[in-house]
Chain A
Amino acid sequence: MSQQLNPASLSQTAEGTSQPADFASRMEGERSRGKGRKDRVVLKVDNLRIHYATPQGDVIAVSDISFKLYEGETLGLVGESGCGKSTTAYGILQLVQPPGYIVNGSIEVDGTEVLDLEEEELRKFRWTGLSLIPQGAMNSLNPTMRVKDQIIDVIEAHEGKQSDKEALRERIFGLFQNVGLPNRIYNMYPHELSGGMKQRVCIAMGVALHPTAVIADEATSALDVVVQRIVAQTLIKVKDEIGVSLIVIGHDMGLLAQIVDRIAVMYAGKMVEIAPVENVYAQPLHPYTQLLIDSIPSIKERKPLKITEGITHDPRNPPSGCIFRLRCPFAWGHCAEVEPRQIMVEDLHEVACHLYDEQFHERRANALATIANS
């Protein structure tokens, strides 16, 4: 059933039904199953802003976003193309290519400020602190190098020449086992592997140095559903075994529902909602999140198609106030003037929308009174 913003759906929370409590205990369960603890933050992004310079002015790709990644957690980062998901990932790793540049912000990984690192430290930090499985990674394997050489390359680039070849071999076999690959591919070339296997080689490379967190950018799009399921399940299994935290970037809301603990929704460079995955699907708060959830095609029931257009404004000149107001069914004058704050609705659930802000409702009541009186 489609969730609409109406008093009925909101009142369930406001009246304090058992839902939030249930939810907290469920989250606790989730975390004890993985290795994570909700109190330990491994990655903290604060006010990150990234621009792309163009002759007509800067395009704001990422606009002052903040979020935390907890230990052992899988965080989904969603939004339509061009909303800044991938740029955020590249920004966190300091891999933004010119004309892109980081304007301001802070990125802390295990207490280290990434933006303060020197080039040499940064090189070491990548793949040991944070690693990235880039979009279309399986096509980025070097076709002229054997699988083993590519993985050895990653290890030796960070840990220096390995003298004990036997130990290195065992280590790679261990990685293969983690991602469910047979040992016989050790000596193979990438073109001899299927898409799903190549993708798993990329996952093995990503976790080879036991980073604190792994960012997987659209790691399973472009794969058939059965293979996608295998790769997605591999990713989660490896995450739990090695004990890393994971950021999964994607736009397939169905897949994310299956594998992530929390979801961060981005729209046109802004973070509009961050919430535990159960909340997002059962009770999306931000009108954009509602639209995203509504537009998921189901294989369980036929429902009327929810038609939407993409981001419509010029990214060089975003609308004043709320970024989503041009498409928002609830937009009101106030939305054009004041940018919504990030409001903590309940534990771990934040939303940037005036609808959940008391001040907004006061103002609206006044406006209505004016209509009635004049």
Chain B
Amino acid sequence: MPSPLLQIRDATKIYYSGGFLGNKKSVVALDNFNMTIGGSPATITTIAGESGSGKTTLANLVLGFIKLTSGRIIFDGEDITDMDNDQLKAYRRNVQAVFQDPFGVYNPFYRIDHVFDLVNRHFSLSDNRSEYRDMVEAGLNVVGLYGEDVLRKYPHQLSGGQRQRIMMARAYMIKPKLIVADEPVSMVDASLRASILDAMLRLRDEHGISFLYITHDLSTAYQIGDEIYMLYQGTTAERGTAMDVIDAPQHPYVQLLIDSVPVPDPTDKWDVNISLPSEEEMRTAAAQGCRYYPRCPHRMDKCLEEQPPLFMMDKPKHEAACYLYEEREVAPQELSLVENRPKSIAAATSNRSRNRERIAAAVLIILGFALGVILALNREPEIEVQTVVETVVVTAVVTPEEAAATATAVPTAPPEPEPAAANVVVPKFAIERDGAADKGSISWGEDTIGEIETADDRHRYTLAGIAGETVGIKLITGGRGLSGTGFFSPLATIYAPDGSIVFAFDSARRSNSGELTFGATGSYEVLLGADDRGRGVDAYTISIEGDMPEPTPMPTIVPPDFVIERAGAVPKGDIVLGEDTVEEILSADDRHSYSLAAIAGSTVEIKLITGGRGLSGTGFFAPLATIYAPDGSIVFAFDSARRSNRGSLTFGETGTYQVLLGADDRGRGVDAYTITITAAES
């Protein structure tokens, strides 16, 4: 087993107040708390609970801001309680924080790049200016931002979501092993939270950074969390994987908590007849015994005698501290602490020995991993007991009359210029396999795959669909993966060209058959694989029936390759097909946007002629011309990566591309420019 990253043992934190002459009051914020975060792979461990449950105390303890009353916190083999300042500084390289308030952490008088300059100075990341700039850019890219969009801005010019992600980028630059994120999304609009959660997932999966995610929002914990600890007044009420705990809570408090999370479905309303305890009852705790006794609907006399230990539930690692489960086994005590011998200060700061440590850590991880593999192999016979065949059948039911009727009766989504016109011949749909593992062979309309064992072993197909066409989809299942999970896992998901999910076998669709009418013409992605919990499917078959045309490659299109439509804010000058000259753009707001209807595979040449300000001497190259794909991604930009004023772009998909022209980030205008877009010679 790899050595754990963070171990907390019997941690107790008591706050004292008042009491000059003996009348001392104490509040137990954390009571004999135990926790272990594994070293590798990186995980997101959630600490959840209501206010006063001890979540933030725990965060402050791990960050070394406050000291334990008793107990120990071991990080990467070293006890953090008796670190001196130099050791703490080294510790902070490994443990970074992101706080709740995305407004309070910035100095409003400085631009965003100041945040990074400070980090560079404090942790001496790089002396080389361009290397440093690349580091900043890399950090921003990880969290889905671009330097030219944010670095020269002031904090108030950014959204809360962007500000929190910049804090993550800042933490990332230091390459910590752990980020303590204390309510990072609670002050950010609900619609912007996903971007922050996504940044956390990327840091975990692509950069091996673990998170201690402190929140009272269970839905975000459910979406991204690996393990969860539900705290109640300083003690662990329940813990397990986020999905096990939230899908099937066992502790009465956790049940109430999860039942109270508002479900975004007006047809599934709260039970109005449920009687909630009055709030004073909710606040009072039993002096000894179970903390939840005063509020608990199942309370027993035994609960008052002694605090319940964690009992083991059905799922591995799922434990709940409640005497309702008294007949079950008590969870085993935490493994003994894994601790290194204390390091000297010199060793902690010297580069060479740090490298040596890294090598040693890598060796440890490899050894640990090997051990884990051996253990897993030993356990294999258990897994193989259930061997059930899963079958997925995709049946195409193309009904042209219906499709045509739908198409005329109903307004269609606009981004796709339908190539159905004139001389374009498109197959009704073509399926193309792009599986990760080469298991079995694919034939037209049917594919059988031997085994999918891990969550990563997913199989991807491309389905070319025409707007209005309908396919019937049927899923035949048995055994692991789908049954007995409580929730239907999305074993088959179909994504539209814009990345949205248009079809999934999930909790909303308990039936094993369904119909999908393509909303837009383009390439749909069919993803088949193991379920969310990583449990494999033994085998499945995908087949397409009916009189399908032979799969033909996407057609070659006769020009026009594109049409340009101007949609500028200010009408200055005339627009010629393929060319536009604008006299002056004075402010950052005075942007000009164009729509470019393009067909996949065709290529255009782009040339930008500018005068004077805006491009030269800015330090950062402003994106004076940017082209966005229909899905919103940037496919072409005159930016720091492209210092030349000309280039060519091959369209990846058929649809409407947006061309945006404007002033630079500092609002400085361009005197005049001409953008020319012409079809490339083929």
List chain A positions with a Cβ less than 8 A from chain B.
Answer: 1-2, 4-11, 14-15, 80-81, 180, 182, 194-197, 224-230, 232-233, 251-255, 257-258, 277-278, 280-281, 291-311, 313-314, 316-317, 319-321, 329-333, 336-337, 355-356, 358, 360-361, 364, 367-374
Contact = CB atoms under 8 A, between A and B. Distances in A.
Contact of B219 (A5, A233, A298, A313): A298
B597 interface: yes
B124 interface: no
Contact of B191 (A182, A295, A368): A295
Contacts of A329: 415, 498, 630-632
A316 B289 CA distance: 60
B504 interface: yes
B414 interface: yes
A4 B264 contact: no
B418 interface: yes
Contacts of A257: 262-266
A7 B282 contact: no
29 contacts: A4-B496, A4-B501, A11-B517, A182-B278, A194-B279, A226-B260, A230-B279, A251-B191, A252-B262, A254-B263, A280-B266, A281-B265, A296-B190, A297-B193, A298-B264, A301-B487, A302-B222, A302-B532, A305-B197, A305-B201, A308-B194, A309-B195, A310-B160, A311-B159, A313-B589, A329-B630, A329-B632, A332-B414, A361-B411
A4 B162 contact: no
B368 interface: no
A241 to B, nearest CB: 13
A292 to B, nearest CB: 6
A235 to B, nearest CB: 12
Interface stretch (B126-134, B384-392, B537-545, B562-570): B562-570
Given A1-B508, A226-B282, A372 B422 contact: yes
A305 B560 contact: no
Contacts of B26: none
Given A293-B264, A367-B565, A1 B194 contact: no
A254 B422 contact: no
Contact of B159 (A310, A321, A367): A310
Contact of B51 (A224, A291, A364): A224
Contact of A310 (B189, B257, B264, B508): B189
Interface string B251-273: 00000111011111111011010
Given A10-B411, A251-B190, A336-B567, A281 B264 contact: yes
Given A194-B279, A295-B190, 14 more contacts: A7-B468, A8-B516, A226-B50, A227-B279, A228-B262, A230-B279, A251-B191, A258-B269, A305-B194, A308-B195, A314-B588, A314-B589, A332-B414, A360-B411
A251 B502 CA distance: 25
Contacts of B519: 4-9
A308 B222 contact: no
B408 to A, nearest CB: 10
Contacts of B246: 299
A300 B267 contact: no
B410 A7 contact: yes
Given A5-B519, A8-B516, A299-B261, A309 B266 contact: no
3 pairs of A and B residues whose beta carbons are closest in the complex: A6-B519, A8-B517, A336-B567
Nearest to B503: A1
Contacts of A370: 563
B144 interface: yes
B414 A4 contact: no
B139 interface: no
B141 interface: no
A371 B597 contact: yes
A329 B413 CA distance: 9
Given A233-B270, A368-B417, A11 B406 contact: yes
Given A6-B519, A330-B413, A371-B597, A309 B192 contact: yes
Contact of A6 (B194, B520, B658): B520
Interface in B200-251: 201, 216-220, 222-223, 243, 246
Nearest to A294: B500
A374 B560 contact: yes
Nearest to A81: B189
Contacts of A337: 567
Contacts of A336: 567, 593
A316 B467 CA distance: 39
B500 A2 contact: yes
B260 A295 contact: no
Interface string B484-517: 0001001000001010111110111100000111
A310 B149 CA distance: 14
Contacts of B263: 254, 257-258, 299-300
B676 interface: no
A308 B192 contact: yes
Contacts of B658: 331
A301 B493 CA distance: 13
Contacts of A233: 270, 272, 276
Contacts of A309: 159, 161-162, 192, 195
B421 A372 contact: yes
Task: Indicate the member of B504, B509, B595 with the most A CB atoms within 10 Å.
Answer: B595
A111 B656 CA distance: 48
Interface residues of B, number: 99
B563 A371 contact: yes
Contacts of B261: 225, 254, 299
Contacts of A2: 500-502
Given A281-B265, A310-B189, A329-B630, A301 B409 contact: no
Contacts of B653: none
Nearest to B589: A317
Which one of A253, A254, A291, A314 has the highest number of Cβ atoms from chain B below 10 Å of its Cβ? A254
Contacts of B409: 11, 14-15
Most chain-B CB neighbours within 10 Å: which of A230, A278, A280, A368? Answer: A368
A138 to B, nearest CB: 13
A306 B198 CA distance: 9
A164 B194 CA distance: 56
Nearest to A369: B421
Nearest to A5: B413
Contacts of B267: 278
Contacts of A360: 411
B66 interface: no
A277 B588 CA distance: 39
A6 B256 CA distance: 38
Contacts of B189: 80-81, 251, 310
A7 B467 contact: yes
A333 B595 contact: yes
B566 to A, nearest CB: 8
A114 to B, nearest CB: 30
Contacts of A81: 160, 189
B407 interface: yes
Nearest to A304: B501
Contacts of A333: 565-567, 595
B99 interface: no
Nearest to B569: A320
Contact of B262 (A254, A321, A373): A254
B656 A332 contact: yes
A367 B272 CA distance: 54
A337 B566 CA distance: 10
A314 B563 CA distance: 29
Tell which of A2, A81, A225, A277 has the most Cβ of chain B within 10 Å. A225
A1 B501 contact: yes
B439 interface: no
Nearest to A253: B264
Contacts of A311: 159
Contacts of B515: 8
Contacts of A358: 411
B283 interface: yes
Interface in B274-297: 276, 278-280, 282-283
A1 B504 contact: yes
